Structure 1
Amino acid sequence: MEQGKSRLAQEFEKREKGQLVRLNKYISEAGLCSRREADRLIEAGRVQVDGKTAVPGQKVSDNQEILVDGKSISKEEEMVLLAVNKPRGVVCTTDKRWGDQTVEELIHYPKRVFYMGRLDKDSEGLLLMTNNGEILNKMMRAGNYHEKEYLVRVNRPVTEAFLSEMAKGGIPVQEQQTRPCKVEKTGERTFRIILTQGLNRQIRRMCEYFGYQVVKLKRIRIMNIMLGDLPTGSYREISREEQEELYRRIQGSSNQPVRENRGRREEWKKKDSE
């Protein structure tokens, strides 16, 4: 696991000592937009520094007042975005009633961060954590159809019929229907699945509907962020390139909830009663 303070945390401390950074970088790290879009905001006269209209290329420090469209950006709003490889047995909650280790305890990050798209206790793999609520909602709202990819091992051989039915969608989960999804066989008892929803224990419940039990479930991708070879129990900061691509993908995304179709297909109702 990464030891000590993160690069961003170290950079924040340097700024407290008066070190200057480019304004577009400051705005981007506040979680508002990419650097390129920040440049557009500055050029449009929508950014003020200490009561004066900002200019392209300007540098700032944390002891200055920075406004974007009249809204103040403070150090506490500077964005942190982490990729975490959650081990099985660690929980995505702050509830300590059951004595389980939480993700926050696992990573010991120096700033308060929240998970995006929880993984249940028995699942493992990629978990994103941030202190920015706007980007969190835009990434995880089901109505934005952002992809999440998983590797799954089940308790018996995977058949083509099973894969086909999983991919069709329409499976009842939490009084909703699953959307069509991408499913690919990767071994005798393993498959890869890409979802655009995040229903509670969705993959496990989809498998159970067809008589399968999930033995192992690992998330390996959220949108353009890959788990890669990140060691189990470790975290890393999202790279600048990943962050820029992420901003591009969520451009135009809503941070509002979406109503899903709560009907059930008749064929699933019939199968459920057999």
Structure 2
Amino acid sequence: MAAAAARVAFITGGAQGIGRATANKLASRGISIVLADQNAERGHAAAKDVASQFGVKTKFVKVDVTQEQQVKDGIGEALKLTGRLDYAANCAGICESVWEGEEDVTVELYDKTLAINTKGLWLCQKHQALQMRKQDPVSISTTPAPRHAIPGQRGSIANICSISGLHAAGLAAYTASKYAAVGVTKTGAKFYGPDGVRINGLCPGWTMTEMIIGSMGKEGTPGTKENNESPVAQKISLRRMGQPEEQANVLSFLLSDESSYMHGALLVTDGGFHDIR
């Protein structure tokens, strides 16, 4: 990704997990960062740490992605850094316990899951894309240089969709929300692609984030005996769960000029869980 100092990324769920790892990855390439999250304590600490490590402009904004005005205000804070919004990584999400059956999922939990994972994703994508299409296009940088000029783009969005948006292996609320997230991503690509705004989705598999630890307990916790011997890990071709940094690497690629002809696509990053049996 081009390390232009004037570029800025807006990351939801940025206080922890894949969002936090993505903040580090993009900041390491000289991109200014706006972290959006509901956890103000973790968010402020994360923003301070990113700024200290990488020397880029960094800001935390408290945002509930289910609230449209908060989403719009958060994007407005990003504009104060450079006057535009170049990249958006939508990583905010929740998940019920892996061990629960459908009978254990309450209406309240179901509604909350879809509100954050689907409605919240849609609100963020919508207002990010609406801002991006107002902006002047920025030229695409590739090495070696292409034989013919590549048209510039106005912005790039990457959504966390999950392999649970590709197959149903349980998780009644989460799976429904992620199938819908795939639809949000692809319809967004249809609406905003003609304006030079790229939108793609990442479908992570089992990744050891705070959300998975909360959902799986010790089996999802790095370094534990339960994680090392996890039956879930044994179903993954690489025989291990992933790390947030591995997902952040691919999110960074999806946002970057290196993926300039990828649009409306889904990338699966699951160690071979979905396609290899």
Larger Rg: 1
Question: Which has the larger helix fraction?
Answer: 2
TM-score normalised by length of structure 2: 0.26
TM-score normalised by length of structure 1: 0.26
